[in-house]
Amino acid sequence: MTQAVRDEAGRAVPAFDMLVDLVGDGGVLVLSGAGLSTESGIPDYRGETGRRRRAEPMTYQAFVGSAAARRRYWARSHLGWRHIAHAGWNAGHRAVAGLQSMGLVSGIITQNVDGLHQAAGAEQVVELHGSLHRVVCLSCGERTSREWLEQRLNAANPGWLGAADAINPDGDAVLADDQIGAFEIVDCAGCGGLLKPDVIFFGENVPRPRVAECYELTEQAGLLLVLGSSLTVMSGYRFVRRAADHGVPVVIVNQGPTRGDGDAHLALDAPLGPTLTALLARFGCEPGSLGGVAGLS
């Protein structure tokens, strides 16, 4: 990735200085991926932590088509949820919220399902792939909190002692088959329908109105700032392509190469937390003063 670039006069400019200049113009739309949450201890599928594990995510087709698959998912997710629920925002999330409060970030689209942007103080976050903090019934459509589901699962499985070998990016814990077989799942308390986390599984489509909203945000942005995403799947990469098609500059900050590097005005290979904290500081806001920024506490 580019660490130094040339300005319009042909002079070499440090890439970070150009990042500061571009963000300083405002109208920034953030598109965040799993790499932004790895510093909170949540692994990703394709970045540095993802390459160290072999994760087979649940597909929508398997979930709705197999009772055994649903039992496996909920047993693993019930245990892994504790890891997601106790994860805290990191310096990168906090910096994005700070930039938003300063009026430089006009919108946030996240591919993450962990809710950490909001926990750090960000507002009006479009959760492209949904949130693990909610559960939806596939029959009646009712959405309820994950906390309530966890209470019901605990009541249905008194004394169940699952032990995870590892935690996957979507809060899915790796469990032995004998532990899964002893786990009891619960259905919708209202209609008895199948319960699913309110997230987009592999093989499932993002709702069209949500995609349309993200396209509109992209087209209206002054800059698309991609944070911590390899852009491997089209779900996120399409917004980079839409930005390029509408003349919106694209800047990528990620550890490792991305699918969108060829579309980017600037690409930085750098850790997210330190880079975004330094970026915020260049606009006169030090990490220790974020509590004083409007909208943050």
Which of 78, 93, 117, 129 is labelled catalytic?
129
Does the annotation list 254 as a binding residue? yes
Does the annotation list 255 as a binding residue? yes
Does the annotation list 188 as a binding residue? yes
Does the annotation list 114 as a binding residue? yes
b/e map of 150-164 (b: 16 or more CB within 10 Å)? bebbeeebeeeebeb
Does the annotation list 228 as a binding residue? yes
Look-up of token digits 């694209």: 250
Does the annotation list 113 as a binding residue? yes
Does the annotation list 137 as a binding residue? yes
Does the annotation list 171 as a binding residue? no
Does the annotation list 230 as a binding residue? yes
129 catalytic? Reply is yes
Residues tagged in the binding site annotation: 111-114, 137, 140, 188, 191, 228-230, 254-256, 272
Show binding-site residues for Zn(2+).
Answer: 137, 140, 188, 191
Binding residues for NAD(+): 111-114, 228-230, 254-256, 272
So which residues are the catalytic ones? 129
